Amino acid sequence: MVATACGGTSTQAVPTPSGGGTLGTSPTPGSPTTSASASAEATATARATPRPTARTTSAKPPAPSGPRTILGGCQVFPTNNPWNQNIANAPANPMSSTYIAAIDSTKQFLHPDFGSNPTYGIPYTVVPASQKFVPITFNAYGNESNPGPYPVPLKAPVESGSDHHVLVLDSGNCHLYEMYNAQQSGSEWICASGAVFNLNSNALRPDGWTSADAAGLPILPGLALYDEVASGVINHALRFTVADTQNGFIHPATHQAGVGIPSLPPMGLRLRLEASFSLAGFTGEALVILKALKTYGMIVADNGSSWYLSGATDSRWNDNNLNELKSVPGSAFQVVETGPILH
């Protein structure tokens, strides 16, 4: 839920999953976010955007060595991007125990916020270079959004629940287009906010700007994807939510949606599963995810149910296996130091 303060050494090729639509597919509902947070009120700033005269194309650079994730032929951010950073040996944050206690105050165990149910998880779509751009109108946070048009199919899948995210990766220009509270209307899309990310760049959004996520972060790079999990390895950090946050953020987050209580976690806070936490007894998809949490960790991206881990909509998920994650206590995590809190 968006709330504003003012208103892999081998390449991991991940094909578009059954939960990720392609051009012309019917809408696939996504995950109902069990969020207890409330979006701050903002004055509606509807903005209809013009059609482009030409598509800006980002050349796909030679793939560097090292773990990486590939979607639609595009590497999901450079290898040195924070999302792809190995934090297994990063120093612990001195406020770690305080932040963990705050998150634990409402829920105490990890929870996969995705599964085989087609109305669960966050769907995404990969489109070709020929995808038509359509107008985008913002009705809430237009002043913190990237203006359209976006190459979003009119039948792109929309996340179920209250957040109604729409995620589209353009394989032609390797740009990611994400919308919050989106609905298709005629020949355009209307949404509360929208963000565009160049997957070939480490550039952040301006400080103070939201995105389709409360933290100003991209959503797709933080999702657990079925195909990468099935391959046996996740090469990036994951996205998760907490019930309450403070009014600050840590890069790569650029936006806060909290209150003035410094004992609460800020947006962008990064946690890792303790190296000492035994993975004995965990199997399959759950084991792959837990290994990633030890290596890459997870990032606070939104206000919602605490310890809820995000994944893409896909009917192939094994729910019984994912349920193993629910036995992992919050106390098994540690906050790592990744930068100062900004206000």
Over the stretch 260-288, which tens digit does the pLDDT of each residue have?
999 999 999 999 999 999 999 999 999 99
E strands present in the chain? 11-14, 68-71, 74-75, 111-112, 125-127, 136-138, 166-170, 175-180, 183-185, 188-191, 193-198, 238-242, 270-273, 298-303, 308-309, 333-336
User: Cβ(302)–Cβ(1) under 8 Å?
Assistant: yes
- Hey, which residues does 312 pair with through a beta bridge? 122
Q: Which DSSP symbol is given to 299? A: E
> For residue 271, how far is the Cα from the chain centroid?
15
Residue found by looking up tokens 């612990």 in the block: 92
Calpha distance 182→25 (Å, rounded): 17
pLDDT at 5: 34
Q: How far is residue 131's CA from residue 57's CA, in Å, rounded to a whole number?
A: 13
* Residue where the block lists tokens 């996504």: 30
Full strand arrangement of the beta sheet holding 74-75: 11-14, 68-71, 74-75
Which residue in this structure is represented by tokens 């792109």? 156
Record the tokens describing residue 227, joined without a space: 């195909």
Work out the number of other CB atoms within 10 angstroms of the CB of residue 280: 4
pLDDT attached to residue 68: 84
- In angstroms, the CA 32 to CA 44 distance is 24
Asked if residue 263 lies in contact with residue 98, where contact means CB atoms within 8 angstroms, the answer is yes
Other Cβ atoms closer than 10 A to 340:
10
Task: Enter the pTM of the model.
Answer: 0.84
Residues 302, 216: Cα–Cα separation, whole Å: 9
Give the 3-state secondary structure of residue 331.
helix
Q: DSSP string of 212-246?
A: SSTTS--SGGGSB-HHHHHHT---S-EEEEES--B
Distance in angstroms (rounded) separating the CA atoms of residues 80 and 140: 33
Say if CB 59 and CB 199 are below 8 A apart: no
d(CA 215, CA 254): 6
pLDDT for 250:
98
Omega of the bond leading into 147 within 30 degrees of 0 (cis): no
Which ranges of the chain have pLDDT less than 70?
Answer: 1-66
